[in-house]
Structure 1
């Protein structure tokens, strides 16, 4: 991919993540802010909902900043992959398409983070400027994917316990 293509991909994903995060954190772009998002998170089994909403928003902003700058890119991708995996699992019962509240949006954002992780940030990035070109190796993309998925296991396990205690899911 060209340097321009990599930059545009990073900026597109970072811009979308910025909007997604600030909906949760500040109620921008039609979002409900921490209180409203926290209520949704509580229904999904993420407690305490408000704190979990703020945590999700902050991780999305952190990932967006890393990806936009192309700085420590695999780490930023891992953060986004983990956060979006949690969101995709929570919304998957509604199907895939966002129109019905499904997991389309977090799936797409997470998948784009995987692409950036495997492809690297490109020449027009802080990683490249600081000589961190080894971070563009596809093995770092694999590491970002594995770390992101492993990190998602923690809130998803906590959520499963909450849902089991509510009788929303059955033990297997």
Structure 2
């Protein structure tokens, strides 16, 4: 079980690292800060450029927490929050990523939720530092609630922008 949790943590963290550096640095075929800011603003997240930095750094810190298994529920909450925002923004395109849908943020957020409930396992800094009690149903629910609560702020601000702007076009 510990090996499985370690693999899950490392694989999810690697994907999140790529996801964040696409935004922040334009790596892995990403649009970088300016290109992503344009997309964010089309989705109703203004001002785009600072919000790209916030989203990218949040994903990066979440990835670091998950990879190392340090303060895992907090890192999972960061990922759940940013992926909730991304899933809502891309949901008008349907579920599947091939159509620009919310498949990828849904999967990343779901995996972070699973880790928040399971905990990082014995092969983690949480365990090494005696923080092994940061797992279980209470921590999972807390991480999920914190992530969704944090997502509600940019989503509410986006809703205001979209109401002022009119109908949303995501593609």
Q: 2:92 — aligned with what?
A: 93
Runs of 4 or more consecutive aligned structure 1 residues displaced over 6 Å after TM superposition: none
Q: 1:4 — aligned with what?
A: 3
Aligned-partner Cα distance in 2 for 1:72–1:164: 38
Q: What per-residue deviation string (whole Å, max 9, x for no partner) do you get for residues 139-169 of structure 1?
A: 1011000000011000000000000011227
Q: 2:138 — aligned with what?
A: 139
Q: 1:63 — aligned with what?
A: 62
Normalised by the size of structure 1, how large is the TM-score?
Answer: 0.96
Unaligned runs of 5+ in 2: none
After the TM superposition, which residues 153-172 of structure 1 pair with which residues of structure 2 at under 5 Å, given as runs? 153-168=152-167
CA contact (8 A) 1:14 1:67 kept: yes
Q: 3-state SS of the aligned residue for 2:89?
A: helix
Aligned-partner Cα distance in 2 for 1:12–1:73: 15
Q: What per-residue deviation string (whole Å, max 9, x for no partner) do you get for residues 103-133 of structure 1?
A: 0000000000000000100000000000001
RMSD: 0.7
Deviation at 1:54, TM superposition (A): 1.1
Q: 3-state SS of the aligned residue for 1:67?
A: helix
Q: 3-state SS of the aligned residue for 2:150?
A: helix
Deviation at 1:137, TM superposition (A): 2.2
CA contact (8 A) 1:24 1:37 kept: yes
Aligned-partner Cα distance in 1 for 2:48–2:167: 17
